[in-house]
């Protein structure tokens, strides 16, 4: 069994599956070309039935099925399979869609003109022949190829225990590289790659990157990423489409379109509305029409990732070299071809030399006969038969005085001159007997002399070729140039320096996300557009499904392509892109952070920071850390650029302490800290106040001195404004007076709002506030432009906005000042958060039972720092607000009516979601079921 298997394996390797490096052909292709040449199916003859050629090949040389022979013949006729076609086919030879060719009885074929460069001179003893399978015919072991066909047309095959997969290359470039290697045998791979930058596929496309090409050219193995050529076009006024005009090599166009359609139906690729094939005789054109809201670049990247619009050609340049399988690089293949072609030229020259010498030898005999014509005629007339005449001519010694220079001229070794006499050989005697009388004329005698001179010149040229390697290289160069003029075509495949491996991020549709984290460590992201804005005092909608008594502890708004840093209770930092976070519906609980960050262990995430999307901004930014115990620390953001998957030590924490906030800042800005017991402090970021720490293992310095039972819960970075205490006081009097006047004019009329307005100073002071101070109108406008507004919210859903000027800048480490008055338990027992807001934006509030509301900031009045605020979120008796965060992009309200912010269908959807996902939530208090509340 072993011997039989090995014999079979060697037969497949040598005689079936692997191409020969010399002519680049496998046996079946070689036999097809040779049989068609023998049958006269050349490019200058009419087309003949393919079945005729297949029959000749099968009967004489290839004892296998006709289908395998016809399939090989068809492939050599397909322009999308061969870089230079070797068969000129007429009829249906298949298509790039994978359509089968017509039966061989319907198609016609002949050799292409380029095939002559592989077959020419085969009758001149340029290659070895071997018996066919039944020893009734002879077939060539290899064709005398005049160009490196292995590189030009490539090859693919699977043998026993090995396989080959060689890409096609541009014929002009391959020949130029061969010429360069002939000119400079010491040329390096880099020199050759300047001429052949990479494969050139008949279907075009784009090769992404050069690393795989270099590896393949150097070692014979490599992976070449290929990508279709696609452009984004405007097909209608409001519609765009991705138009594919070239696809990667060996990709079935019809199968590709089916795959795209399947992915669209499975919603793995979104944004595609239609796919159609508009290919015609002018070229390929696949139109992938997009939906109105689709991002073309993202859809295209998804197509590259999930379909064969981008694929890789695995190069394995394995070929037979001297009958043995060998993996070869670019230089090895060219060197093998040059050696082979030189041998072809040498054998051909020897064959031609023998032929020319034979002709010259005959011409010498004719010259002798013409010089002695009378004696020759008399001898022939006296002979009884031709044999006697031939022997008489050979027996007589003829005068060599006239022919000795000719014999020396043609290097004739057949005649030996002795004592000035020469004897004719049998070949010469036969030639004389066959001499026609017309050759005896004077003109014909001159022609014999001229032909003899030409023979002498030809013999000298052939001897020079045989004896000189340099001369053989010149002949090879000339023949390569002739082949180049016939088969060279422009490059079809573009080589791009860009890498083909697009990042996963390029597949993600850009957009804003709401990231939600629960107390038990579950995280998710939800598209921002799902949450619509409501008026303040609304009922909100469900933000997350709860598991047991789990509650939402942190939520923020971020772009899908932003980095998010996670800071654990153990003082470690982790980093992840927003799009990598699990996406879920508003009612889903999300995914456990321990699964997203496997090295988190038993620690919990205590602070989360969304970093700027553009990493160039990181160089000028610092990070400020704040802990619950009131400590702060400043580090450069660049210290956290490289974070391993296992995390990075971010801050050393004292026992029982935890991170409550991390924010980006710049030199000269202000740090604002707020506590649960409504205390706050503001101090400027300078090297004297808060220096930059070089290490990450420090616990920092004191930021605010806390009372017993109090802890920091908010960290904000404010812009520093150079204004005196008097200027800030004057500005606040004027600005607050104007705001109170506007609020009184626009009050909705509720008892709560009227009470708030009435408790402040009267609106009549609004016009007198600036005049009563030393503040000019210009300075007032300047301070107004730099003013920041802080929103403070209590756990009972009450809140108010206050000017940042209300908080004076003091030194670090003090007890701070009051942030809000908490005298009425109904309005809150502690502050949930304090954060800066901008008009035109929204804020979201989340409760411990998973309800969420989105409120426009403009609906929250700006009041004095000590005010307890107005109702922002109506919560249940046992329900508490646990988190508040700003929304960067406001979608606006859904209705013009100030009393109703959601449409009836939206309210029904929200109620259904709450019923389905919050069955274990505590029931609402009776006082919270007013008609206005249910409408909101």
Q: How far, CA to CA in Å, does 94 sit from each of 61, 81, 100, 110, 483?
A: 26, 11, 5, 17, 28
Task: Determine the pLDDT at residue 100.
Answer: 94
Model pLDDT, residue 95: 94
The residue whose two tokens read 């090297």 is: 687
What average pLDDT does range 288-293 have in this prediction? 89
- Strand 494-496 and strand 206-208: the pairing is parallel
Q: Which of 38-47, 336-345, 539-548 has the lowest mean pLDDT?
A: 539-548
Q: How far apart are CA 7 and CA 4, in angstroms?
A: 5
Which pLDDT score is estimated for 760? 47
pLDDT over 70, % of the chain: 85
Distance CA 243, CA 253 (A): 13
Neighbours of 327 (CB within 10 A): 15
Angle, in degrees to the nearest 10, between helices 211-219 and 330-371: 50
**208-258 confidence digits (pLDDT tens):** 988 999 999 999 999 999 999 999 999 888 789 999 999 999 999 999 999
Rounded-to-integer distance, Cα 826 and Cα 920, Å:
24
Q: How far is CA 682 from the centre of its chain?
A: 49
- Does this model's pTM top 0.85? no
Which domains, ranges and CATH numbers included, belong to the chain?
A: 25-144 (3.90.199.10), 229-308 (3.30.1360.40), 354-479 (1.10.268.10), 510-719+788-935 (2.120.10.90), 721-780 (no CATH)
Burial of 442 (0-12, 13-18, 19+ CB in 10 A): exposed
Does the pLDDT of residue 542 top 50, yes or no?
yes
- In the 8-state DSSP scheme, what is residue 20? B
The DSSP element (H or E) to which 813 belongs, if any, is none
Q: Which residue has the higher pLDDT, 145 or 541?
A: 145
Model confidence pLDDT, tens digit, residues 159-184:
988 999 999 999 999 999 999 999 99
Residues 608-629 have a mean pLDDT of 79
Residue 18 has pLDDT above 80, yes or no: yes
- Determine the longest span between alpha carbons in the chain, in angstroms: 157
Mean pLDDT for 612-630 is 80
pLDDT at 189: 94
How far apart are the C-alpha atoms of 51 and 35, rounded to whole Å? 13
Ranked by mean pLDDT, the top range of 63-67, 248-252, 573-577 is 248-252
Rounded Cα distance, 854 and 842, in Å: 6
**pLDDT at residue number 314:** 95
Average pLDDT in the 821-849 region? 85
* Residue scoring higher pLDDT (894 or 333): 333
- Name the band, by pLDDT with cuts 50, 70 and 90, for residue 868: confident
The beta-strand segments (E) located in 795-912 are 798-803, 817-818, 831-837, 842-847, 851-856, 870-871, 881-887
Look at residue 50 and tell me whether its pLDDT is greater than 60.
Answer: yes
Q: Report residue 407 as tokens.
A: 């014999």
CA dihedral 916, 922, 927, 932 (to 10 degrees): -20
- The gap between the terminal CA atoms of the chain, to the nearest Å, is 85
Q: What is the pLDDT of residue 506?
A: 58
Tell me the mean pLDDT in the region 186-200.
Answer: 95
Whether pLDDT at 537 is above 70: no
Q: Are 97 and 250 in contact (CB under 8 A)?
A: no
CA 160 to mean position of chain CA atoms: 34
Report the pLDDT value the prediction gives residue 839, as an integer from 0 to 100: 79
Burial-class residue 687 by CB neighbours within 10 Å (0-12, 13-18, 19+).
exposed
**pLDDT for residue 895 is more than 50:** no
Per-chain mean pLDDT for the chain: 83
Instruction: Give the span between the Cα atoms of 8 and 4, in whole angstroms.
Output: 6
Mapping DSSP to helix (H, G, I), strand (E, B) and coil, where does residue 24 land?
coil
Catalytic residues, by residue number, are 106
The 10 Å Cβ neighbour count of residue 447 is 12
DSSP three-state, residue 822: coil
pLDDT exceeds cutoff 50 at 763: no
Q: What per-residue confidence (pLDDT) applies to 505?
A: 59
Is a pLDDT exceeding 90 seen at residue 340? yes
pLDDT at 169 (0 to 100): 97
Q: What is the pLDDT of residue 548?
A: 53
* Contact status, residue 304 vs residue 190, Cβ threshold 8 Å: no
């Amino acid at each position: 069994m072993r011997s039989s298997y090995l014999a079979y394996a060697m037969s497949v390797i040598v005689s079936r599956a692997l191409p020969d490096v010399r002519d680049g052909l496998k046996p079946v292709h070689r036999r097809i070309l040779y049989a068609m040449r023998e049958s006269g199916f050349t490019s200058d003859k009419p087309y003949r039935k393919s079945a005729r050629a297949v029959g000749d090949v099968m009967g004489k040389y290839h004892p296998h099925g006709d289908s395998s022979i016809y399939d090989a013949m068809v492939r050599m006729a397909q322009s999308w399979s061969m870089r230079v076609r070797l068969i000129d086919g007429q009829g249906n030879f298949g298509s790039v869609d994978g359509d089968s060719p017509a039966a061989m009885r319907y198609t016609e074929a002949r050799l292409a003109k380029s095939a002559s460069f592989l077959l020419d001179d085969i009758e001149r003893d340029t290659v070895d022949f071997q018996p066919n399978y039944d020893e009734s015919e002879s077939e060539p072991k290899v064709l005398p190829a005049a160009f490196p066909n292995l590189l030009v047309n490539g090859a693919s095959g699977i043998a026993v225990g090995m396989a080959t997969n060689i890409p096609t290359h541009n014929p002009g470039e391959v020949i130029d590289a061969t010429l360069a290697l002939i000119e400079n045998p010491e040329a390096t791979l880099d020199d050759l790659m300047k001429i052949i930058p990479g494969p050139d596929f008949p279907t075009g496309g784009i090769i992404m990157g050069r690393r795989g090409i270099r590896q393949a050219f150097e070692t014979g193995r490599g992976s070449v990423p290929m990508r279709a050529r696609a452009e984004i076009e405007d097909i209608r006024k409001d519609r765009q489409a991705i138009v594919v005009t070239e696809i990667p090599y060996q990709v079935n166009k019809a199968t590709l379109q089916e795959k795209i359609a399947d992915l669209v139906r499975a919603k793995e690729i979104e944004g595609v509305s239609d796919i159609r094939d508009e290919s015609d005789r002018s070229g390929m054109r696949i139109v992938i029409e997009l939906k109105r809201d689709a991002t073309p670049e993202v859809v295209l990247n998804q197509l590259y990732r999930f379909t064969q619009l981008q694929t890789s050609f695995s190069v394995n340049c394995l070929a037979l070299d001297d009958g043995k399988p060998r993996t070869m690089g670019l230089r090895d293949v060219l060197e093998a071809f040059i050696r082979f072609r030189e041998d072809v030229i040498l054998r051909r020259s020897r064959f031609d030399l023998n032929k020319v010498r034979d002709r010259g030898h005959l011409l010498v005999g004719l010259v002798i006969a013409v010089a002695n014509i009378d004696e020759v005629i008399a001898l022939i007339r006296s002979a009884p038969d031709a044999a006697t005449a031939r022997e008489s001519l050979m027996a007589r010694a003829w005068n060599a005085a006239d022919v000795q220079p000719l014999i020396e001229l043609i290097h004739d070794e057949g005649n030996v001159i002795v004592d000035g006499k020469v004897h004719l050989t049998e070949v010469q005697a036969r030639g004389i007997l066959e001499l026609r009388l017309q050759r005896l004329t004077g003109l014909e005698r001159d022609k014999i002399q001229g032909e003899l001179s030409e023979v002498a010149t030809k013999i000298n040229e052939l001897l020079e070729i045989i004896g000189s390697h340099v001369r053989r290289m010149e002949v090879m160069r000339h023949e390569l140039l002739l082949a180049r003029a016939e088969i060279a075509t422009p490059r079809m495949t573009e080589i791009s320096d860009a890498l083909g491996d697009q990042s996963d991020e390029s597949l993600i549709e850009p957009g804003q996300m709401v990231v939600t984290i629960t107390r038990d460590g579950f995280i998710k992201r939800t598209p921002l557009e799902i949450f619509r804005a409501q008026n303040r005092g609304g009922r909100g909608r469900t933000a997350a499904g709860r598991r047991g008594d789990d509650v939402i502890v942190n939520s923020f708004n971020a772009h899908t392509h932003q980095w998010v840093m996670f800071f654990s209770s153990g003082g470690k930092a982790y980093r992840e892109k927003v799009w990598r976070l699990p996406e879920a519906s508003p009612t889903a609980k999300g995914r456990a952070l321990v699964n997203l960050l496997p090295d988190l262990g038993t620690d919990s995430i205590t602070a989360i920071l969304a970093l700027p999307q553009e990493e160039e901004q990181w160089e000028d930014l610092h990070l400020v850390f704040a802990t619950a115990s009131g400590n702060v620390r400043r580090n450069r953001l660049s210290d956290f650029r490289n974070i391993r998957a296992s995390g990075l030590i971010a801050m050393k924490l004292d026992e029982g302490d935890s991170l409550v906030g991390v924010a980006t800042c710049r030199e000269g800005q202000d740090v604002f800290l707020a506590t649960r017991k409504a205390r706050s402090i503001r101090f400027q970021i300078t090297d004297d106040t808060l220096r930059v720490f070089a290490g990450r293992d420090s616990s920092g310095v004191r930021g605010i001195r806390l009372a017993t039972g109090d802890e920091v819960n908010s960290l904000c970075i404010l812009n520093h404004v150079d204004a005196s205490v008097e200027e800030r006081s004057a500005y606040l009097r004027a600005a607050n007076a104007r705001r109170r006047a506007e609020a009184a004019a626009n009050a909705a009329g509720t008892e709560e709002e009227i009470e708030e307005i009435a408790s402040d100073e009267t609106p009549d002071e609004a016009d007198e506030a600036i005049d009563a101070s030393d503040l000019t109108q210009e300075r007032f406008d300047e301070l107004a432009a730099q003013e920041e507004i802080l929103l403070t919210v209590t756990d009972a859903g009450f809140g108010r906005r206050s000017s940042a000027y209300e908080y004076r800048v003091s030194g670090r480490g003090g007890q701070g000042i009051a942030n809000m008055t908490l005298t009425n338990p109904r309005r809150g027992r502690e502050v949930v958060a304090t954060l800066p807001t901008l008009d035109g934006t929204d804020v979201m509030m989340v409760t411990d039972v998973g309800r969420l509301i989105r409120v426009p900031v403009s609906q929250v009045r700006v009041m004095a720092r000590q005010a307890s605020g107005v109702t922002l979120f109506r919560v249940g008796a046992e329900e508490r607000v646990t988190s508040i965060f700003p929304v960067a992009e406001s979608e606006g309200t859904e209705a013009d009516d100030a009393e109703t912010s959601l449409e009836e269908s939206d309210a029904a959807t929200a109620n259904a979601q709450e019923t389905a996902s919050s069955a274990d939530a505590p029931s609402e208090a009776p006082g919270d079921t007013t008609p206005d509340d249910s409408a909101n």
